[in-house]
Amino acid sequence: MKSEYLQDIALRYFLEVVRSGSIAAASQRLNVASSAISRQISSLEGLLDTVLFERRPRGMVLSVGGEMLAAHAQKVMLESDRVVADLLALKGLRRGRVRVAASEGLGVDFVPRLIRAFQQQYPAIQFQVYVGPPALVSRHVRDGNADIGVTFNRLPEPFIKIVYQKPAPVLLLMRNGHPLSKFKSVALSQLHPYPLALPDPDTTLRQLFDLACSHQQLLFEPALTSNYIQTLHNYLLEGDALSITGEVTVRYRIARGELTMVPIRDRVLNGRYVEVQTLSGRTLPRIAEIFLAHLLGELNKGEAG
């Protein structure tokens, strides 16, 4: 990338060792001799009069001073990327890349549709999308591997700037015509006669659902558990099974009339938010800022959940 020319070689090598965990791994990724990387790091340690890594049998671990330098080096790298991206933007936003990290509830349907609509206006802009658990979404943003994070969250994350936040209550999901679809809201106890299809326990949906059931001393044995949200949704179409969801996750399937959702009467289930995250203190490239505005506009079209 052209941004490499704006970065100090020693800092770039240092940061790659941080990411890779060893000089040997960094050497392979950079296609640079291990001895050259080792010399640059030794030069940095001599210049700064501090040890940057603790050498261990299974790799290299940052010292306290190394952690401080890594934070600085990451900011330098991100700023270099932004400058190059903005120089390209002067040519009319004909080129560029936006990196997005999203939790599965947003990354399966909402984010791809959003990107496709954006590329109709900016067809040459490329996207890189990571989909994973909320904690890893925030980590991608924090480590500089994503420009924007779109996720469901319960607790604040360090070094993360929240540019959008809205309550995202846990809702009951079912096929159209389900016996519970006639109610304006339901109690957790009304779920007992029906099979449940639930996401894995590492999701905010499942964590809040389990917490609410525990408070009410209710025990549910799911008929189906899956780490893939589309599996849960498709399972509902074939019978009277129930699942849990947020509004943004199923917005388009609701609009197509495939599924319907009903609020659940329990305060605990209101304890999460849909968030858009960026790295605190970072200035995004111009094209990422434009996409961010597009993202926020789409989120505001519906009641986030």
Mean pLDDT throughout 225-244?
Answer: 94
- pLDDT, residue 138, reads 93
**Is there a single domain that holds both residue 224 and residue 283?**
no
Last residue of a domain, one of 63, 87, 111: 87
Confidence of residue 83 (pLDDT cuts 50, 70, 90): low
CATH number at residue 37: 1.10.10.10
Which range is least confidently modeled, 56-70, 107-121, 124-138, 232-246? 56-70
Q: How far is residue 25 CA from its own chain's centroid?
A: 26
| pLDDT above 60 for 6 | no
Last residue of a domain, one of 87, 122, 140: 87
Which range is least confidently modeled, 242-246, 249-253, 298-302? 298-302
**Is there a single domain that holds both residue 260 and residue 187?**
yes
